[in-house]
Structure 1
Amino acid sequence: MRLPTSSLVTQTTVLVESFGAKGDGITDDTKAFQDAWSKVCSSKTPAILLISQKSYRLKPITFAGPCQSSITFKIQGKLIASPNRFDWDPKNLRVWIVFTWVQNLTVTGGGIIDGNGNVWWKISCKINKSLALIFNNCKNLTVQNLKIINSPSTHVTFDRSQNVVASRLIISSPSWTPNTDGIHVTATTTILIYGSSIQNGDDCIAMVNGANNVRINSIVCGPGNGISIGSLGGKGSTARVSNVIVDKIYFNGTKNGVRIKTWQGGNGYVNNIVFKNIAMHDVRNPLIIDQFYCNSPSTCAAQKSAVAISNVHYTNIKGTSATPVAIRFNCSASVPCRGIELKDINLQGSKGIVTTSACQNVNWSKRGVVLPPPCQSS
């Protein structure tokens, strides 16, 4: 009888303590982690980098490939960002923990990644854009069973990666913290995000240029800004997002539910998008498309070009809206939204509010019962 492949594979286990890590939460353990990574990355057999149940203080660190074999980065303890802002390179404040050019990587273990964001929040996250955990140019990546908290800005970023599974994540920061996106997906194709809870001060999940073949399933979101595609097309840029399915989501007290946001003057497209089986509780803007997004202190003028939005399907979405306008589709006159379908929608107002819909320059259709009825002109 042929034995399972896993029983024939020898794994190398490397402990960070073997390279001098103290794990007391005070000593800088960055070099020990770097040396331990060099060991597992050079291993010709599958390797485990084991981080035991202690607290490890780290400066910004990059775990770079390519590596010789598959790696499991097993966090059982707690990784804490250095509280000293001067440990960051002033020319690159965007990174803390980065995995780059690594294939066949699993990051797991049930531990905690603490971005120590309170060091930065008091000087405004709108200025600092430091990110807690970045996966760049990774392929065949699994990130699971972790708690990621208190990022200075975005908690987890998947950038230019392929074949990603992110699951059983608890992502948390205070609701008042600016720019603390939960998960940010950019230039990444074939990614599954499921079975996670996200509470933060910005988008629970944001998909921007190059996000393709994205599946989001079984997420609890709130507080936060909801799940967004965008913003896209800023400063006249071209953006493309396609083949996204958002399924089985519970939004609790979020600013938005499911949102598509693009700047005037951009180019490209958003198409083949499905939002389905969604429950909302006291969401301020449950369904929103905004082709006039303008996160700027000055007025953003309407322009002739815009990111085209088409084939967007909303199915089985129910719950309560905290504002009267539960459905808002604000589309461009020059590049109208097309193929917008609403099916089995029931969004009642909380606290006796009567809900309505508002839209402009949108080609829509409905199936089944849709409440509030679409769509009055704004």
Structure 2
Amino acid sequence: MSLLMFLLGLVTGAIALHIDEFNVYNYGASGSGEIDDSHAFVNAWRDACKVRTQYARVIVPEGTFLLNPLMFSGPCNPQNIHFKVLGTIISTGSPKSWNGRDPSQWIAFKDVTGLNVYGSGVVDGQGMGWWDQSCRDHPKLEGCTKLAPTIIKFISCKEGTLSNINIVNSPQTHVLIFYSKGFNVDNVTIQSPERSPNTDGIHIHSSQFVNITNSIIGTGDDCISIGDYTSNMDIANIECGPGHGISIGSLGKNKEVAMVENIRVHDSTLKGTTNGARIKTWQGGQGNIRHVTFENIVFDAVNNPIIIDQNYCDVRGTCKEEKTGVKINDVVYENLNGTSSSEIAINLNCSKFVHCSGIIMENITLVSIQEGNPVTANCTNAEGTEVGVNPGSCFKK
């Protein structure tokens, strides 16, 4: 290689790696945690989004930044736009702050390609005020709320990432990935109290090619929940608990058509959760859940380690029996072991009209958390095969 070519390569590399930075302090943010810094964040995002370079970065430095509900919208000019959080972002914590605003939303990114949200900082939803007036826990409270803000929403985002960040105390769901494609979540910590209502860790809906890896999630609801029209997901190396487990569904409510396929959950641990590997659908729905794999999972004092509930109802026993249902087939459970805190460690409760089929169970060992107590398997209207399963036998011969 000639010297000229070498120098041209260095210059080209330097140009390619150039990142324009937009620090919220330069836009008037106080970082005191007492003054609304929303305006500074909006303006920093505006300039980062419109700058005509390949890479741009919004920087949230050390400090505490109080934000009201915000929407960071694209499309943006840079090929990649980074949102680096080093400090702490907090909400007001007061439901009254949402008067006249969308009650489901706090921080949202919409129509952004190549978005990377990351950093060592904290995003704190300060959800206590919402929990104290939730209809689930306070049904007789006048003006109780059924809908509360999600901390971070990614709406119609492509080829994005969320990584190395702490997300805590959401009023409701912590992270929502919605109508997005090619999105990776890695090395995040999500935490809220075990009794906090409806605080799913990560919910995915109408999205494809989503990976969630190397994360610690403990909440008052599902650690990860997979909603409708979601496909090609890989979930790995998750520490889940407390919470309601890793769930597909619920799907098919109000006779809706569901489609979830190509989901793999593996190499993860669930500790002290109410459910483990769960699939839940409403009676009366239509569509399919198929090509699902749960493998290499450890359960530690989980109440329902393996569960399919094709007769899901928000108030058990009150839902009308229907002759249609979401079809569940081609589900693999392999190399699962650990302890159950209930007698029924495997419970496949499927519809008598739309059976679960193509269920494969291999190399499963589940025992009671109470040494010497038996555990059982219960499979109703489920068809499949099992090899090396304890407890067994589940399927009718």
Whether the TM-score (by the shorter chain) exceeds 0.5 is: yes
Work out the CA distance in 2 between the residues paired with 1:362 and 1:298.
20
Whether the 8 Å CA contact 2:383–2:395 is kept in 1: the answer is: no
Q: Give the secondary structure class of the aligned counterpart of 2:296.
A: strand
1:359 paired residue number: 379
2:32 paired residue number: 24
Runs of 4+ in 1 over 3 A off after TM superposition: 1-7
Cα drift, residue 329 of structure 1: 0.3
1:346 paired residue number: 365
Change (3 A) 1:102 1:89: farther
Q: Give the secondary structure class of the aligned counterpart of 2:114.
A: strand
Equivalent residues, number: 376
Q: Give the secondary structure class of the aligned counterpart of 1:151.
A: coil
| Superposed CA offset, 1:66-119 (max 9, x none) | 111121000000110113322214452000000000000000011100001012
2:131 paired residue number: 121
Cα drift, residue 178 of structure 1: 1.1
Q: Does 1:228 align with 2:247?
A: yes
* Structure with greater Cα Rg: 2
Work out the CA distance in 2 between the residues paired with 1:6 and 1:255.
52
Equivalence map 1:195-274=2 (5 Å): 195-274=214-293
Work out the CA distance in 2 between the residues paired with 1:44 and 1:56.
28
Whether the 8 Å CA contact 1:341–1:366 is kept in 2: the answer is: yes
| Cα-Cα RMSD | 1.4
Name structure 2 gaps, 5 residues minimum: 1-5, 137-145
Work out the CA distance in 2 between the residues paired with 1:233 and 1:4.
56
Q: Does 1:169 align with 2:188?
A: yes
2:142 paired residue number: none
Q: Does 1:149 align with 2:168?
A: yes
Work out the CA distance in 1 between the residues paired with 2:161 and 2:153.
13
2:15 paired residue number: 8
Cα drift, residue 210 of structure 1: 1.1
1:285 paired residue number: 304
Q: Give the secondary structure class of the aligned counterpart of 1:103.
A: coil
Amino acid at match of 1:20: G
2:77 paired residue number: 68
Change (3 A) 1:176 1:142: same
Whether the 8 Å CA contact 1:58–1:80 is kept in 2: the answer is: yes
Name structure 1 gaps, 5 residues minimum: none
Q: Does 1:330 align with 2:375?
A: no
Bigger shift: residues 10-19 or 120-129: 120-129
Amino acid at match of 1:105: L
1:106 paired residue number: 116
| Superposed CA offset, 1:162-185 (max 9, x none) | 000100100000001110000000
Work out the CA distance in 2 between the residues paired with 1:199 and 1:223.
5
